[in-house]
Amino acid sequence: MIEHELLFLGLLKEGPKHGYEIKRLIEEELFPFVGLKIKSIYYPLKKMETLGLIEKDVGREGKWPEKYVYSLTPKGEKIFEHMITESFLSIERPYFNLDLSLYFLQYVDKKIAKRQMRGRVLYLKRIRRELQNVKRNMRNTRRHLDVIFDHDLDLVEAEIKSLGRLIETLV
């Protein structure tokens, strides 16, 4: 839940938002980067409201029906600052789904393993190209995302390099 709270508080740090806007930002902008799936946005919003981290106001625009607009409270601001600092300092061992396959590599025919890993490298290179293209196209509109693109590109490069080394050593 901590990632979810950090996500919601961070989005509200940018300014008040209604529920649909929060959901749209999560699904369209953040999911490709952070991979957090949110089943319902209203349960965590209600919980954070109960804790005094956010407040809910009723808003209306023109003839449209009323909608709730959520904003950060001073307490929510402090919690966000604490959580973001903790997030920068939190180090957990990364887990890659490939690691489990590598653990049982001794039971796989080496030719098949090499072919599968080469296929994975090709897929990673496609991901790298797509990340580079999206980064290039977003450069003028979303500069703050460059840091995430660079981090993701570094991770993809590291896996390509590691797999290349592994493919060379398989006999």
44-91 pLDDT, tens digit each: 999 999 999 999 998 767 777 788 899 999 999 999 999 999 888 887
Q: Give the separation between CA 130 and CA 109, rounded to whole angstroms.
A: 32
Residue 81 has a pLDDT of 95
Residue 78 has a pLDDT of 97
* Residue 12: how many other CB atoms lie within 10 Å: 23
Residue 140 has a pLDDT of 62
* Residue 8: how many other CB atoms lie within 10 Å: 25
Transcribe 23-61 into DSSP letters: HHIIIIIIHHHH----S-SHHHHHHHHHTTSEEEEEE--
Residue 139 has a pLDDT of 64
Tokens representing residue 75 in the block: 């307490």
Residue 128 has a pLDDT of 92
7, 83, 79, 101: which is closest to 45 by C-alpha? 7
For 64, half-sphere exposure in the C-beta direction (CA atoms, 13 angstrom radius) is: 8
The low-confidence residues of the chain, meaning pLDDT below 70, are 1, 32, 34-36, 60, 95, 139-142
Three-class SS state of 170: coil
2-89: which CATH number, 3.20.20.60, 3.40.50.1100, 1.20.1290.10, 1.10.10.10?
Answer: 1.10.10.10
